[in-house]
Amino acid sequence: MKRFLLDGDIAPSNARAGISPREPAAARQSSLREHNLALASQTIFSSATPLSRARLAEETGMTRSTVSRLAEDLLRAGLVVEQDVKAAGRPGRPAVPLAPARGTVAGLGLQVNVDYMAGRVIDLAGDVVAEAHIDGDFESSDPHQVLAEAGRLTRRLCARATATGARVAGACLGLPGLVDVRGGRLLLAPNLAWHEIVPRELMGPDALPPGVDLAVENDANLAAYGIAHPAPGRVAKRDTFLYVAGDIGVGAAMVTKGRVVDGQHGWAGEIGHVSIEPDGPQCHCGARGCLERYAGKHAVLEAAALRPGALVTDLAAAASSGYGAARAAVERAAWALGLALAGTVNIIDVDDVVLGGGFIPLVELMRPGIEEQLRLRTLAGPWSHVTLRAAPDDPAPAATGGALRALEPVIRNPAAWIPGP
């Protein structure tokens, strides 16, 4: 059984605790308190139901007195609340459940895609505090103009959140391309025609409240994070899957035990630029025959020969009504996506694929073609069945995932939010 150090516990020896012999006891106690606060916070937020102090002590292995002190700190910081309970005629004092606080601390998620930008503010209870969605045409756009507009959107959302009494703890921007997460830079977004920019600089110096950082991540990674976390700090039951989103481009993210696997440089998941036919149509990235030239939204709508301005829902309706150009375009997209997925499954060994973005209305139409390629080309096919499912229908999934992602440091390091005595 794992043993957790309590506030009053002393490690058996400095060597075993990994503490320098000269480190003062006060620093050691502070470190233990931060560790235990983080453990208590993560246990509360990861639970699907509110936890009493007694249950929290049982889950963490800490004493009830230690848990009681930690709970008071989290309550004082406004990170958790005590829920009302009724004794229901039972003798003794009823257990008071602890639950994530509503409307106190929030995360801001932002997303810029080829045809829209969006923002969403979500609090620790998972409630949407403020949101906005702006349609636009940002393909081959000027990043200075677009991100300046994103900065204005950010200011409005932060003001709305503040008006409700919520404090924005952090912000996360999702972009469709290669991102240097540590440096906060977008390296390349082919469909936007952006390269080597620092979004925070272009959004304006006062876009975010003082002290609030802006993280920049790939939009598919953030969307996948949102699917893996139905609420702040809580991991979904189906926590290991491959997420593939079809918009103008096609992006993907691998999630394992609720964590996005982003590769050595943070660039994993660019399935849209897997080669389907080496001599195929030219892609925005400069190569030929990339998956997004067969299964991306523009490519499929163009092949379907629908009216200008048609939506993916129009494509789904047309393809469902008969064979025709629309049905042929969807089948071609399914064939190409099936090829790419089969190769990916062979490499990473995943049996749950979530289709999001523009693929959502087309999942059932594409299923036969995708599953045929998976059956033919997946080596472990006879022993493992790959499940295809649609992602939740969210008009801005990276904004949702970004808001949840921005709250993660609060839940993992609550000590930074505890007010002084």
* Pair 251, 378 in one domain: yes
* Pair 207, 286 in one domain: no
Instruction: Determine the 3-state secondary structure of 367 from DSSP.
Output: helix
Name the burial class of residue 15, with classes exposed (0-12), middle (13-18) and buried (19+) by CB atoms within 10 angstroms of its CB: exposed
Best CA proximity match to 372, nearest among 415, 408, 337: 337
* Pair 315, 348 in one domain: yes
- Residue 102's CB is within 10 A of a number of other CB atoms, namely 16
Residue 327 parent element (H or E): helix 324-348
Q: 2 in a domain, yes or no?
A: no
Q: What is the pLDDT of residues 387-408, one digit of tens each?
A: 999 999 999 999 999 999 999 9
* Pair 212, 253 in one domain: no
What letter does residue 87 receive in the DSSP assignment?
-
Q: In the predicted model, what is the mean pLDDT of the chain?
A: 90
Q: For residue 99, is pLDDT > 80? A: yes
Residue finishing a domain among 43, 72, 101:
101
Q: What is the CATH number of the domain that holds 32?
A: 1.10.10.10
* Pair 348, 410 in one domain: no
Residue with the two structure tokens 């400095």: 14
Residue 24 phi, psi (nearest 5): -70, 155
Q: What is the CATH number of the domain that holds 358?
A: 3.30.420.40
Q: Give the C-alpha separation, 367 to 172, whole Å.
A: 33
* Pair 263, 409 in one domain: no
For the chain, helix, strand, coil in percent to 5 are 40, 20, 40
* Pair 270, 310 in one domain: yes
User: Quick check: 294 and 370 in contact, CB under 8 A?
Assistant: no
Q: Give the C-alpha separation, 398 to 320, whole Å.
A: 29
pLDDT at 165: 96
pLDDT at 247: 87
Residue with the two structure tokens 């308190």: 33
pLDDT at 14: 33
Query: Higher pLDDT residue, 25 or 366?
Result: 366
What letter does residue 247 receive in the DSSP assignment?
S
**Which residues are 389's β-sheet partners?**
354
Residue 402 parent element (H or E): helix 397-412
* Pair 366, 401 in one domain: no
CA 329 vs. chain centroid, Å, equals 30
Q: 375 in a domain, yes or no?
A: yes
Q: For residue 15, is pLDDT > 60? A: no
Exposed e or buried b per residue across 338-354, where buried means at least 16 C-beta atoms within 10 angstroms of its C-beta: bbbbbbbbeeeebeebb
Q: What is the pLDDT of residues 131-189, one digit of tens each?
A: 999 999 999 999 999 999 999 999 999 999 999 999 999 999 999 999 999 999 999 99
Q: Give the C-alpha separation, 73 to 419, whole Å.
A: 8
pLDDT at 95: 82
pLDDT at 28: 57
| pLDDT confidence bin for 90, thresholds 50/70/90 | low
Q: 240 in a domain, yes or no?
A: yes
Q: 110 in a domain, yes or no?
A: yes
Whole-number percent of the chain with pLDDT over 90: 83
Residue 354 phi, psi (nearest 5): -110, 120
Name the burial class of residue 113, with classes exposed (0-12), middle (13-18) and buried (19+) by CB atoms within 10 angstroms of its CB: buried
Q: Would you state the structure tokens that stand for residue 83, as one six-digit string?
A: 């829920």
Q: 4 in a domain, yes or no?
A: no
* Pair 204, 154 in one domain: yes
**Which residues are 119's β-sheet partners?**
110, 132
Q: What is the pLDDT of residues 31-68, one digit of tens each?
A: 889 999 999 999 999 999 999 999 999 999 999 999 99
Q: For residue 6, is pLDDT > 80? A: no
Compute the CA torsion angle 39, 41, 45, 50 (nearest 10 deg).
100
Residue type, 220: A
CA 298 vs. chain centroid, Å, equals 25
Q: What is the pLDDT of residues 184-216, one digit of tens each?
A: 999 999 999 999 999 999 999 899 999 999 999
* Pair 288, 403 in one domain: no
Radius of gyration of the chain (CA): 24
Helices (H), 91-178: 143-163
- Residue 407's CB is within 10 A of a number of other CB atoms, namely 27
Domain span at residue 294? 235-390
User: Quick check: 279 and 260 in contact, CB under 8 A?
Assistant: no
Q: 421 in a domain, yes or no?
A: no
Q: 3 in a domain, yes or no?
A: no
* Pair 381, 249 in one domain: yes
User: Quick check: 123 and 157 in contact, CB under 8 A?
Assistant: no
pLDDT at 94: 67
Query: Higher pLDDT residue, 2 or 334?
Result: 334
| pLDDT confidence bin for 84, thresholds 50/70/90 | confident
Name residues whose C-beta falls within 8 Å of residue 334's C-beta, 6 or more positions apart in sequence.
295, 365, 366, 367, 368, 369, 370
Q: Give the C-alpha separation, 279 to 289, whole Å.
A: 6
Q: For residue 25, is pLDDT > 90? A: no
* Pair 189, 277 in one domain: no
Number of domains in the chain: 3
Residue finishing a domain among 45, 76, 101:
101
Q: For residue 420, is pLDDT > 80? A: no
Q: What is the pLDDT of residues 332-374, one digit of tens each?
A: 999 999 999 999 999 999 999 999 999 999 999 999 999 999 9
What letter does residue 95 receive in the DSSP assignment?
P
Residue finishing a domain among 35, 70, 101:
101
Sheet bearing 214-218, strands edge to edge: 128-135, 116-123, 105-112, 167-175, 214-218
| pLDDT confidence bin for 264, thresholds 50/70/90 | confident
Calculate the alpha carbon distances from 246 to 3, 66, 276, 344 in Å.
46, 49, 16, 16
Query: Higher pLDDT residue, 419 or 232?
Result: 232
Q: 420 in a domain, yes or no?
A: no
